[in-house]
Amino acid sequence: MNYIGSKLSLLDFLDRSIEEVAGKDKSLIFCDLFAGTGAVGTHFKKKGHKVIANDLQYYSYVLNRHFVGNHKPLKFEGLIVLVSGLKSADIAERKNIVCEYLQNLDGVKGFVYQNYCPNDSGDEQRLYFTAENGKKCDAIREKIEEWRNKKLINDDEYFYLLATLLEAIDKSANTASVYGAFLKSIKKSAGKPMALSPLPLYLNDNEHEIYNEDVNDVIKKISPDIIYLDPPYNTRQYSANYHILETIAKNDRPKIKGKTGLRDWSGQKSVYCSRAKVKQAFADLIKNAKARYIFLSYNNEGLMSLNDIKEIMSSRGKYGYFTQDYSRFKADNNRDYSANKTTEYLHYVVVNN
């Protein structure tokens, strides 16, 4: 998923830098408190760490609940009678067969089709998806929820299938990466049929913890060894930019408004996007953190200054930082930017006992 602030291209930098400070002990519990699509948490899970992940957005919780939380084979035993070929298949292949079954469902005219696609309503159309992809998304989403309500799938299987759908429909979105607006005509990638490609499943023996709460509340509940923080850097609110993924994840058919069909996201506003509130919120977060090492990703154009961050983090112990230049996230290739690259800072503090 092409996600604002994604650290996928910076994983090597993060890995090297964190190991230089905290060492290579895989028994250390790693915590990612602004988890996004789960790229960082998944990376450290694959290295052998127990991972704690959190994000305020529910679609993000869904992704992390699968990529980080799921660590055992998915058997789909409740669907054996319903889905042809499932009983005789190897356990590892069953998720592929279930995805194929869902892919072959006939589309239905559900919430996504009615509100975010060109349809037969006669009203002004929102061009977020083609009609066929919208109907396919609706059919798959309804079936996943039906299976869960009938207890034909367990929670691990539910979040696997839902994460798979979110990844698939995002690839079919007729947007410039975010959902703040749709394009005026259907672009080539959005015009292709949505493909429900099975997501990878990373197995290990650790029981991971996934939260969907305010970060300043979660910090008081946990005691990991390493805390990694990747808060928003600017005033761009994720709730508005990914509102359709939130609606598909929650399946709550919210009241929507405006040209973009925006749901009410007032309860998900992040104080880390507020110039007036971010410093105090960050100070409280660092104050309440119970960990041996705290790391913060932040770029050189963020709402907090380098001095703000140094002042707050150094109050807990030995402070330092690493830097890495990287390409700017561009939601719109036609927009003028002041620079093509920004500097990523990885601040750290080795906490005093």
The overall average pLDDT reported for the chain is 94
Higher per-residue pLDDT: 215 or 2: 215
- pLDDT, position 2: 84
Given a cut of 80, whether residue 330 has pLDDT beyond it is no
- Sorting pLDDT into bands at 50, 70 and 90, what band is 245? very high
Confidence of residue 333 (pLDDT cuts 50, 70, 90): very low
Reading across the β-sheet that carries 341-351, which strands appear in turn? 209-211, 51-54, 30-32, 226-229, 293-299, 341-351, 317-327
Q: What is the mean pLDDT of residues 300-329?
A: 91
Q: Band of the pLDDT at 192, cuts 50, 70, 90?
A: very high
Q: How many CA atoms lie within 13 A of 247 on its CB side?
A: 25
Contact 126, 260 (CB under 8 A): yes
Whether 336 shows a pLDDT value over 50: the answer reads: no
Tell me, what's the pLDDT at 316?
97
Structure confidence by residue, pLDDT tens digits, 101-122: 999 999 999 999 999 999 877 6
Confidence of residue 124 (pLDDT cuts 50, 70, 90): low
Whole-angstrom Cα distance, residue 90 to residue 317?
51
Share of the chain above pLDDT 70, in %: 95
Q: Residue 328 has what pLDDT?
A: 57
Q: CA 193, 194, 199 angle in degrees (round to 5)? A: 145
- Rg (alpha carbons) of the chain, rounded to whole number: 21
The domains found in the chain, sorted by start residue, are 1-71+203-232+270-353 (3.40.50.150), 76-201+244-267 (no CATH)
pLDDT of residue 312: 98
Report percent pLDDT > 90 for the chain.
88
Evaluate if residue 95 carries a pLDDT over 60: yes
Look at residue 334 and tell me whether its pLDDT is greater than 90. no
Q: Confidence band (pLDDT; 50, 70, 90) for 335?
A: very low
- How many whole angstroms from its chain centre is CA 169? 14
The 10s digit of each residue's pLDDT in 7-61 is 999 999 999 999 999 999 999 999 999 999 999 999 999 999 999 999 999 999 9
Could you give the angle at which helices 278-288 and 306-313 cross, rounded to 10 degrees? 30
**Distance (Å, rounded) from C-alpha 75 to C-alpha 157?**
8
Residue 123: both structure tokens together: 């009203």
- List, in order, residues 6 or more apart from 35 with CB less than 8 Å away: 41, 53, 54, 55, 60, 64, 68
